[in-house]
């Protein structure tokens, strides 16, 4: 029913929702950002069709978000950038999360058929 | 870049990953299944483009999964069925999670253009 | 080794950490606060020695926290009050989470021996 | 109201509940156990009064738990051992989680007054 490109996008979305809601709320400070980045990337890369995950937690934003004496904050989308690459049946979907108007926006960057576009390619029918 | 149908599928995936990883691990017993179903559905319906979420946690499976004296277990995909409907720019994506070979599989059920298919519709170029 | 009162406090802490980190990050809007409160309370009440959990998510704080067009926010400690009662071997521990200096503080309210106080302290007077 | 020893035990419980419910459900395979162990320990060590956290995820148990083709499983208590040390106002609380009768049991190992025992026990306010 769904095309391979649609399936690739569905898989890409699953990974983003998983990463965000598994790890949002994790206690984080500038001294623990590297280990959290690594765990987030490696855990989500376990999921099917997920070829690469890159997580950058910004130490300066974490430091700015620490507003009480305890010296840590909780991970939220505003503290990090995420990029992912999903491969599904010859389709590559690239996605990212970054701040847009103060809101962490998850977005599809591109969906490409690794065999290259064709006149009747479902990912761009009118090309 | 991405088509509306691909965006709809991406949004659908985000909701599934969110629901699963937000609520997996929640303590559950047959006496708390109804409130958890309601909270899961209503919380995810808050997300953009998410029109309907239906969660069924099977009391009998929960009861079977309680293998220690404490009288509860933790929510996992094998205990529930989920159906969702996403609407994005005139595209409807229907998804579900159900058991397949002992593994809870998230899948796209259908992706339809609410305006109806057209000869050049990007969701099914060769129709 | 540990006294019953200390065990009761340990159990009380487990419930608070569980509740917070299971549900922090859940999408919430004023229309979904009631179902989320119910699910949080009923799920944690499944845990051993947990007799009562009361969760109040403040609709006005949720509304104030919604700072983007999508109409929802993510659950954090600043949006709710929580009270719990733990019973362990005749000891009752009461705990609560409420805002203190802008930080959601989890605290032990009281630890009492249900048999009543004795001239020597209830926690382990003759050990 | 509560003694320092009771407070130490409450804090110890919070850390255990936090660790468990933040990370339960994380996708894990033998290739991602080390990064997840590090992130779990470092994140929870950010919390107040938490001096040391040691997480061991057993690769052999993870491998055994992978029961489908996708090559990963979800983190649960049965796959790991955890030890923690909490320091609160001169009291040290040691806790651990390990399997007991097939159930991951969180327990207080010891609660000691760093000033050393006194003829009357440290939890005894009338000492």
D28 neighbors D72 (Cβ within 8 angstroms): yes
Chains in contact with D, where contact requires at least 3 CB pairs less than 8 Å apart: A, B, C
Dump strand ranges (E) for chain A: 27-28, 50-57, 73-74, 80-88, 91-100, 103-113
Confidence (pLDDT) at D65: 93
Looking at beta carbons, which residues of chain A come within 8 Å of D38?
35, 38-39
Confidence (pLDDT) at B98: 86
Confidence (pLDDT) at B68: 66
Confidence (pLDDT) at D108: 96
**What tens digit of pLDDT does each residue of A43-64 get?**
999 999 999 999 999 999 999 9
Residue B39's SS3 state is helix
Give yes or no for residue B51 having a pLDDT over 70: yes
Find the closest chain B residue to C71 by CA distance.
B46
Contact call for B27 and C39, based on CB within 8 A: no
What own/partner pairs with CB < 8 Å and gap ≥ 24 does D63-66 have? D63/D30, D66/D29
Q: Which residue of A20, A21, A23, A25 to mutate against C (max C Cβ within 10 Å)?
A: A25
Rounded to whole angstroms, how far apart are CA atoms D87 and B82? 44
* Average pLDDT of chain D, as a whole number: 90
Confidence (pLDDT) at B97: 94
Give percent of chain B above pLDDT 90.
Answer: 78
**What tens digit of pLDDT does each residue of B4-46 get?**
999 999 999 999 999 999 999 999 999 999 999 999 999 999 9
Chains in contact with C, where contact requires at least 3 CB pairs less than 8 Å apart: A, B, D
Query: Residue A110 has which token pair?
Result: 């591109």
Q: How confident is the model at residue A109 (pLDDT cuts 50, 70, 90)?
A: very high
Neighbour count for residue C92 (Cβ, 10 Å): 17
Greatest Cα pair distance in chain B:
61
Shortest CA gap B24–chain A (Å): 9
Residue C6, CA distances (Å) to A95, D18, D35 in order: 49, 19, 33
- CA dihedral (C87, D3, C94, C29) positive or negative: negative
Q: Tell whether residue C37 is among the known ligand binding residues.
A: no
D70: contact with A, CB 8 A cutoff? yes
Q: Tell whether residue D11 is among the known ligand binding residues.
A: yes
Contact call for D9 and C14, based on CB within 8 A: no
A47: contact with D, CB 8 A cutoff? yes
A24: contact with C, CB 8 A cutoff? yes
What string of DSSP letters covers chain D? ---HHHHHHHHHHHHHHHHHHHHTT-EE-GGGHHHHHHHHHHHHHTSTTEEEEEEEE-HHHHHHH--STTS-EE--GGGEEEEEEEEETTEEEEEEEEEETTEEEEEEEEEEETT---SS-TT-TT-
Give yes or no for residue A115 having a pLDDT over 90: no
Give yes or no for residue A119 having a pLDDT over 80: no
In CATH, which of 3.90.220.20, 2.60.40.10, 1.10.150.120, 3.30.1300.20 is domain A4-110?
3.30.1300.20
Confidence (pLDDT) at A5: 97
Looking at beta carbons, which residues of chain D come within 8 Å of C125?
124, 126
Give yes or no for residue A124 having a pLDDT over 60: no
User: What is the domain class of C4-113 according to CATH?
Assistant: alpha beta
Contact call for C18 and D22, based on CB within 8 A: no
A22: contact with B, CB 8 A cutoff? yes
Q: Which residue has the higher pLDDT, C69 or D3?
A: D3
**What tens digit of pLDDT does each residue of D104-113 get?**
899 999 999 9
Rounded to whole angstroms, how far apart are CA atoms D127 and D122? 7
Confidence (pLDDT) at D25: 96
- CA dihedral (B14, B20, B23, B24) positive or negative: negative
Confidence (pLDDT) at B100: 82
A75 neighbors D23 (Cβ within 8 angstroms): no
Find the closest chain A residue to C23 by CA distance.
A25
Shortest CA gap C24–chain A (Å): 6
Contact call for B7 and A108, based on CB within 8 A: yes
What is the residue extent of each domain of chain A?
Answer: 4-110
C21: contact with A, CB 8 A cutoff? yes
* Average pLDDT of chain B, as a whole number: 90
Confidence (pLDDT) at C98: 86
Helix, strand, coil distribution of chain C in percent, nearest 5: 35, 35, 30
Q: How confident is the model at residue A112 (pLDDT cuts 50, 70, 90)?
A: very high
SS (H, E, C) C30-62: HHHHHHHHHHHHHHHHCCCCEEEEEEEECHHHH
D17: contact with A, CB 8 A cutoff? no
Residue stretches of chain C with pLDDT short of 70 = 68, 117-127
Q: Which residue of B17, B25, B104 to mutate against D (max D Cβ within 10 Å)?
A: B25
Query: Residue C33 has which token pair?
Result: 């606060």
Query: What mean pLDDT comes out for the span A105-125?
Result: 73
- CA dihedral (A13, A16, A19, A23) positive or negative: negative
Looking at beta carbons, which residues of chain C come within 8 Å of D21?
17-22
Looking at beta carbons, which residues of chain B come within 8 Å of C63?
none
Rounded to whole angstroms, how far apart are CA atoms D97 and D107? 6
Rounded to whole angstroms, how far apart are CA atoms B81 and C74? 24
Rounded to whole angstroms, how far apart are CA atoms C25 and A22? 9
Residue with tokens 């969660």: B55
Q: Which among B36, B46, B71 has the least Cβ separation from residue C39?
A: B36
Contact call for B42 and C48, based on CB within 8 A: no
Residue with tokens 């947990």: C50
Looking at beta carbons, which residues of chain D come within 8 Å of B21?
25
Rounded to whole angstroms, how far apart are CA atoms B14 and B16? 5
Is residue B104 within a helix (H) or strand (E), and if so which, with residue range?
A: strand B103-113
Looking at beta carbons, which residues of chain C come within 8 Å of B50?
none
Per DSSP bridges, beta strands A91-100 and B27-28 are unpaired
Confidence (pLDDT) at B120: 45
Confidence (pLDDT) at C27: 97
Give percent of chain C above pLDDT 70.
Answer: 91
Contact call for A6 and B6, based on CB within 8 A: yes
Contact call for A111 and B9, based on CB within 8 A: no
């Amino acid at each position: 029913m769904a095309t391979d490109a649609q399936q690739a996008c569905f898989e890409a979305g699953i990974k983003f929702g998983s990463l965000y809601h598994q790890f949002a709320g994790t206690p984080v400070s500038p001294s623990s950002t590297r280990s959290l980045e690594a765990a987030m990337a490696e855990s989500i890369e376990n999921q099917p069709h997920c070829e690469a995950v890159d997580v950058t937690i910004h130490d300066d934003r974490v430091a700015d978000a620490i507003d009480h004496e305890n010296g840590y904050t909780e991970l939220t989308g505003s503290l990090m950038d995420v990029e992912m690459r999903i491969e599904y049946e010859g389709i590559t979907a690239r996605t990212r999360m970054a701040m847009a108007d103060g809101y962490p926006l998850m977005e599809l960057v591109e969906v490409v058929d690794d065999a290259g576009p064709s006149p009747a390619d479902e990912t761009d029918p009118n090309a």
